[in-house]
Homo-oligomer: A and B are copies of this chain.
């Protein structure tokens, strides 16, 4: 006998959301390209040998709790044998040899993305890569290219190869069929981003390791960043820190190379935004860039100052996913990318809100530019 309570208003409510029902991701394919992190301490700076040193002088987040009684209590043979980790997230991440997980949902393989990624000069033996690829024909082609590229790098010498590469395959059939049914931009946007949120969650929660200090979200269409991206962002030691995503283009009027703002998801909440939210029904979302929903939110994209200090910080309420460094503990505490409206926000913007609900602060660097692909 199954007792059903169909009067429960929540049950019906959920049934109205087809994308959520079809949405669960199928992990059809998990490739582990595990390569021993035989780290010649090469590019690891002067403290390269201190990987498991338990210095009490550490300047990490949880510094005050470092003098561990626990370590003394442990049977010696276990300590010496297994991965024992004092996890820090500090402004001198590289010197402390903190591990970084770079995560990229990838629908299209751009050689420029791959080249730029490989130029990142944080010690590659401390970097793990994770990709999630949609399950459609484009994804098949993408997987082939990514596979070939990964294979080439990982079979090269120790300096360029990464600690570990994980490729996940997403089941995203549902999105395409949804998109065909309804072409209204806002609705499609909501569904696209909901699927993206599920992809991001699966990616981070499947790949995050006990040894991960930082997670760098780097979108597959980010084709240019400073090679010091990780060091530059970690320097600020913020729970969440977002770069300003711009795009290079040729100005047709002048014929000159120029740049323009690209990602408008890095924003500060506004009175108008809150007013709009207050008037929405539970399942509505606010998305930036639609005239019918003018939030007048200050957008980080517009705060870029070419002559300004690259380290200028700006408190944010919403972030995009272009290039964002996150302390792994923020995700471990449960900060995820809502695929359902969370305070009328989804995906990366909902993530920022959830992190704030968990007590974390969110920042951006308006003068620190990374560049989006221009077709």
Residues of A participating in the B interface, judged by any CB pair closer than 8 Å: 1-5, 8-11, 14, 17, 19-21, 23-34, 61-62, 65-66, 68-71, 73-75, 78, 82-87, 135, 139-140, 143-144, 147-148, 151, 166, 168-169, 171, 173, 197-198, 201-202, 204-211, 268-269, 274, 298, 303, 308-309, 312-315, 317, 329-334, 336-340, 353, 356-360, 366
Give this chain's copy count. Answer: 2
Alpha-carbon distance between A148 and B77 when the two chains are bound, in angstroms: 12
Whole-angstrom CA separation of A269 from B12 in the bound complex: 13
Q: In whole angstroms, what is the CA distance A368 to B5 when docked?
A: 20
With A3-B314, A3-B315, A65-B135 known as contacts, the answer to whether A24 contacts B74 (CB < 8 A) is no
**Residues in B whose Cβ lies below 8 Å from that of A31:** 74, 78, 82-84
A308-B2 Cα distance, complex, nearest whole Å: 12
Residue of A3, A69, A202 with highest tally of chain B CB at under 10 A: A3
* A336-B31 Cα distance, complex, nearest whole Å: 25
Q: Which residues of B contact A28 (CB under 8 A)?
A: 62, 65-66, 68, 70-71, 86-87
Q: B23 touching A151 by the CB < 8 A rule?
A: no
A24 contacts across to B, CB distance below 8 A:
61-62, 329-330, 333, 359-360
A1-B309, A340-B358 are known contacts; what are 16 more A-B pairs with Cβ within 8 Å? A2-B314, A8-B268, A20-B358, A24-B359, A26-B87, A27-B332, A29-B71, A31-B82, A69-B140, A70-B139, A70-B143, A78-B147, A201-B334, A204-B205, A206-B332, A207-B210
B336 close to A82 (CB less than 8 A) = no
Complex contact B315–A5 (CB within 8 A): yes
Asked, given contacts A65-B171, A312-B1, A356-B10, whether A208 binds B205 with beta carbons under 8 Å apart, the answer is: yes
A223 to B32, CA, bound (A): 37
- Tell me the nearest residue of chain B to A300, going by C-beta: B3
Query: Do B65 and A9 touch across chains, with their CB atoms under 8 A apart?
Result: no
Q: Give min CB distance, A177 to chain B, whole Å.
A: 13
Q: Do B27 and A85 have beta carbons less than 8 Å apart?
A: yes
The answer to whether B312 and A2 touch across the interface, beta carbons within 8 angstroms, is yes
Would you call B68 and A29 a contact (CB within 8 A)? yes
Structural contact, A82 and B357, CB atoms closer than 8 A: no
On whether A329 and B85 interact (CB within 8 A), knowing A14-B359, A334-B205, A336-B336, the answer reads no
